[in-house]
Amino acid sequence: MSDLPLYWSHPENLLTDTEVIEVRRADDRCELMLKQSPFYPGGGGQPADKGSIDSVPLIGIHKKDGKIVHELGSIDVITIGKVVQCSVDSDFRRDSMQQHTGQHLLSAALFSEGLDTVSVHLGQEYVGIEVEGAEGGIVPEETVRRVLDRCKLWISENRKVISHYLKPEELDGLNLRRPAAGKSDLVRVVEIEGLDHVGCGGVHLKDTASIGLILYLGSEKIRGRVRLKWLIGGRAVKHAEELGGQMRQIQKKLSAGPEEISGKVESLITENQKLKTSVKNLGEKTGSLLAESWLAVSGEDEFIVEAIQMSDGGRE
């Protein structure tokens, strides 16, 4: 379809020359509308792209009255009819696509476990997927393990991610994971080949292999449901590398191999608890001995007050 936005039809095009068709100026900024914009304006939880126009950094991008509005600082050199070069921040775009496509894959795997996605948070630190259907408000670790195993398999199978543009009456036979939001003459449905169909306006990867790695961070209860937290793609790889570095430091300090660390830590905890008990007992005995010695040398009508600094920071 020739009238699709570039971020849908050619999400790999991160450097584009296009014509300025409208300019609006304010005191400290100007707003541009372009003939063709490669920038995703944000929506559905996915953040707007970052980048620049003619090397001028974008302040923001949003959609208004069906048009993509590009916000820049106050400049006079860009006018209507000028051909400008648009540059999309490739690292930010790839990260956004990994998070969003990875979330679709996770939601498909969670759905197979009877957990429906009701809300998604595509944050800068992690992806949060709020689900309902968790018995007792808890998603067991074995369920999470099965979800991760499914995602790992689907990533290794390198399944295609396909966008369909359909009329509302064509949706009935698709078995959408959730109903398409809003009313439109044309609905965009994102499919993970053979696994998942869902209405979505975001920018996605071309295949599941590009997702890379998915890690589980934990969960929290929210609004009577459960939010599961995930790291996806490059974020997961970076986190794994950091954990690997920390693990090597711990191994060095404990003089232990990876398989020995758990036992070493347990031994240190037990030893520390024993030492705390010994110090407490020693403090009590010392206090008793001091009291006896003071009584032995003091008169019957004298009172002696002494502060004893305890090992735990308290005073008696």
**Distance of alpha carbon 78 from its chain centroid, rounded?**
37
Is the pTM higher than 0.85? The answer reads no
Q: Tell me the CATH number of domain 6-88, given options 3.40.190.180, 3.40.50.300, 3.40.640.10, 2.40.30.130.
A: 2.40.30.130
Q: Please name the CATH architecture into which domain 94-250 falls.
A: 2-Layer Sandwich (3.30)
**Predicted pLDDT of residue 310:** 47
Rounded-to-integer distance, Cα 23 and Cα 53, Å: 13
Alpha-carbon Rg for the chain in angstroms: 30
Distance from C-alpha of 182 to C-alpha of 169, rounded to nearest angstrom? 14
Domain spans, the chain: 6-88, 94-250
Closest CA to 146 of 99, 177, 109, 108: 109
Digitized pLDDT (tens) for each residue of the chain, 316 residues in all: 568 999 999 999 999 999 999 999 877 889 999 999 999 999 888 999 999 999 999 999 999 988 999 999 877 778 899 999 999 999 999 999 999 999 999 999 999 999 999 999 999 999 999 999 888 889 999 999 999 999 999 999 999 999 999 988 888 777 888 777 666 778 899 999 999 999 999 999 999 999 999 999 999 998 889 999 999 999 999 999 998 888 888 887 877 777 777 787 878 788 888 888 888 888 878 877 877 777 777 655 555 555 445 445 544 4
Q: What's the pLDDT at 110? A: 98
